Amino acid sequence: MDIVIVEVFGLPAVGPIWTHKKLRLQDAMATFRDEGQNLIVKGKGVQPSSLGEPWKKLARVAQSYITCDGRKDVVRPWHLKLLSVLKHKCAINLPAYLNFLLHDAT
């Protein structure tokens, strides 16, 4: 399936393969704290309003359409990881990540 995602979307299949099961919340929050944002921890994630714009809206898009997460009141570590990639603060193998999320959502 990774190959299909690479061919269809043209995403580079470089970088480490990552799964959200290995990420702690504090590690995921590091990218946003480095930029002076004060994130508010809520359960196993952070409050979306503490992300600021445009990251709050992008987190909602990731929750709704990429991870199919029904809880919009908290941004989970795997969403923060994806936002870090979009901020160009880290690199992961996006086709493998999207494939993992598709399998995790079903």
Domain count for the chain: 1
pLDDT digits (tens, 9 = 90+) for 61-104: 888 877 777 777 888 888 888 888 888 888 888 888 877 777 76
pTM of this structure:
0.75
Half-sphere CA count of 88, side-chain side, radius 13 A: 0
Residue 37 neighbours by CB under 8 Å, 6+ apart? 50, 51, 52
DSSP 75: B
CA–CA dist 24, 3 (Å, integer): 29
pLDDT digits (tens, 9 = 90+) for 35-64: 667 889 998 889 988 888 888 888 888 888
Q: Which domain holds residue 77?
A: 2-105
